[in-house]
Amino acid sequence: MTKINVKKFGGTSVGSFERIEAVADAIARAHHEGERQVLVLSAMAGETNRLYAMAANIDPVASARELDMLVTAGEQVSIALMAMALERRGIKARSLLGSQVKIRTNNQFGRASIELVETNGLIGLLDAGVVPVIAGFQGVDGEGNITTLGRGGSDTTAVAVAAALNAAECQIFTDVCGVFTTDPNIDPNAQKLDSISFEAMYEMARQGAKVLHPDSVACARRHGVVLRVLSSFEPGSGTLIRFDEPDHTVSGIVGIAVSRGQGLVSVSGVVDNPPAEVALFKTLADACVDTDLVAQQPSERMLSFSLAQAEVNKVLALIDTLTGAHALGAVNYETELAKVSLISTGKPVMAELAARVTELLAAQNIRVRLVSTAEIKLSVMIDEKDLQQAVRSLHRAFNLNKV
């Protein structure tokens, strides 16, 4: 039996009628060559953002369930158009929502995890020569509610479907020709990698390299899925996410990931005040706020944490509710920050790396607000306006520029 390939096309790849037609042509060619293909699509570029913005007009703090119901509409449009484009080419195709495939998730609206992908229906379609065209990013919980997997989650749908079908490859088609040493839209000297280890790719994704959703990398690793990132605009072999050997680099740094739109909130009177610290983190957790880098400054008993800029107002309001009961001190915040993270092979001496990075940035008058290290990554929080300069100079300094 011919092996199955799962092919995922992101928003830009299906962002216009021309792009849908171009993808349909490529799928038709492969179909006529005998390939068994399952498609997973994102919404057309900009559509998911448009839907979130619509919700904000009605209720800026709309319930997560209703948001998921709304924003999954984008993928319903793209899959139907793609199925039509394939049928016009004489290829049998069937568009399917997550709930129709039965992509079962937990009930964490807005960031659900896939628990199960039902394969009987998909296999039946493939056996009948039909190309399934699945809506990415969405699933259904045990009670029949529609859920989403988090922004960029169509990658994860594709990998989960590939794992369930035991596919030969899961191919993520996007608007760049693979995984680069850093975002090629920030640094034109970024190099395309022929392959990258799962370990480094997962950390790159977690630290903001949008090219793959972090859950998709974790899921592929867990299930042994062969995962490749390719361009839907030009031919090429893309980047293979590798299971075997570690990454080889000159400087010990594999790549640099960036995360824009960050905020920093500092609350004094928290350190050495365990009830306040517990109450603060519990309140944030109950409101599903993801804190990222956390730092303590004993002198002012100040606790600082970074988070998505969009969450800052909500968090300030939450902290306000704790101030009286826990004798919290001054609360400060900053926005328009960006996180730059260096991902290493192996485990470098982080203090040395931190010294080198902060020295390099200081030499260019780039202020570092926060430094954080973990096993294979070092992150610095800087002003968003300095992002491009910081990335380009670090990329050069760590010998990542193309030669």
Catalog residues that contact ligand ADP under the rule CB under 6 A.
10-13, 42, 152, 174-176, 179-180, 182-185, 204, 209-211, 255
* Site stretch for ligand ASP (CB under 6 A), options 126-134, 152-160, 228-236, 263-271: 152-160
Six-digit token string for 79:
């899959």
Q: Which is nearer to ligand ADP, 201 or 279 (CB)?
A: 201
Residue 321 one-letter amino acid: T
Q: Which is nearer to ligand ASP, 153 or 348 (CB)?
A: 153
Tokens 């800029």, residue located:
309
Considering the complex, what minimum distance in angstroms separates the CB of residue 100 from ligand ADP? 22
Considering the complex, what minimum distance in angstroms separates the CB of residue 192 from ligand ADP? 8
178 is an interface residue for Mg ion by CB under 5 A: no
Considering the complex, what minimum distance in angstroms separates the CB of residue 279 from ligand ADP? 37
Q: Which is nearer to Mg ion, 152 or 208 (CB)?
A: 152
Beta carbons of 137 and 148 less than 8 angstroms apart: yes
Query: HSE (CB half, 13 Å, CA atoms) of 340?
Result: 28
Sequential DSSP letters for 23-84? HHHHHHHHHHTT-EEEEEEPPSTTHHHHHHHHHHHH-TT--HHHHHHHHTHHHHHHHHHHHH
Q: Which is nearer to Mg ion, 94 or 213 (CB)?
A: 213
Beta carbons of 236 and 177 less than 8 angstroms apart: yes
74 is an interface residue for Mg ion by CB under 5 A: no
12 binds, among Mg ion, ligand ADP, ligand ASP, none (CB under 5 to 8 A by kind): ligand ADP
Maximum Cα interatomic distance, the chain, rounded to a whole number of Å: 71
152 is an interface residue for Mg ion by CB under 5 A: yes
182 is an interface residue for ligand ASP by CB under 6 A: no
Considering the complex, what minimum distance in angstroms separates the CB of residue 28 from ligand ADP? 21
208 is an interface residue for Mg ion by CB under 5 A: no
In sign, the C-alpha dihedral spanning 281, 284, 290, 295 is negative
Q: What is the DSSP letter of 2?
A: P
Return the SS3 of 318: helix
Beta carbons of 256 and 203 less than 8 angstroms apart: no
* Site stretch for ligand ASP (CB under 6 A), options 124-132, 150-158, 180-188, 217-225: 150-158
The number of residues in the chain equals 403
- CB burial class (10 A; 0-12, 13-18, 19+) of residue 6? buried
Beta carbons of 293 and 379 less than 8 angstroms apart: yes
CB 166: neighbour CB atoms within 10 A? 12
One character per residue 111-140, x = contact with ligand ASP (rule: CB under 6 A): -------------------------xx---
Q: Which is nearer to ligand ADP, 169 or 277 (CB)?
A: 169
209 binds, among ligand ASP, Mg ion, ligand ADP, none (CB under 5 to 8 A by kind): ligand ADP
Considering the complex, what minimum distance in angstroms separates the CB of residue 53 from Mg ion? 19
238 is an interface residue for Mg ion by CB under 5 A: no
Residues at the interface with ligand ASP (CB under 6 A):
10-11, 42-43, 48, 74, 136-137, 151-154
Which residues form the interface with Mg ion (CB under 5 A)? 10, 152
